[in-house]
């Protein structure tokens, strides 16, 4: 998911031009916030133990949030991941299906 870039509409009013310039600057600033330009993965199956999960960001992830979980389990990141641009290695204390927001 990404922030839609603001596109100015050409017209004659200087006042509307200034408003559009400010809106464009604000939209450009939003696109720099990594949390807002993430990847949402639904129905990710985790085993009791280690699971490699492809996050789909095409860059190193900054973090993640588990937004839904189907079992009473703890989920945490493994510190030994050397492929952070493609995967996150998650541990789970019990098998579960989760939804995760990666950023």
Q: What is the pLDDT of residue 32?
A: 73
1, pLDDT greater than 60:
no
4, pLDDT greater than 70:
no
**How much is the pTM?**
0.72
pLDDT tens profile 66-95 = 999 999 999 999 988 999 999 999 999 999
Tokens of 66: 């588990």
Question: What percentage of the chain exceeds 90 in pLDDT?
Answer: 66
């Amino acid at each position: 998911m990404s922030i839609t870039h603001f596109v100015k509409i050409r017209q004659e009013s200087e006042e509307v031009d200034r408003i559009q310039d400010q809106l464009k600057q604000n939209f450009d600033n939003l696109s720099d916030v990594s949390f807002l330009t993430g990847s949402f993965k639904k129905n990710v199956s985790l085993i009791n133990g280690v699971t490699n999960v492809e996050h789909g960001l095409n860059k190193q992830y900054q973090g993640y949030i588990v937004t839904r979980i189907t079992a009473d389990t703890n989920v945490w990141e493994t510190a030994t991941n050397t492929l952070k641009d493609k995967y996150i290695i998650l541990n789970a204390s019990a098998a579960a299906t989760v939804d995760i927001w990666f950023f």
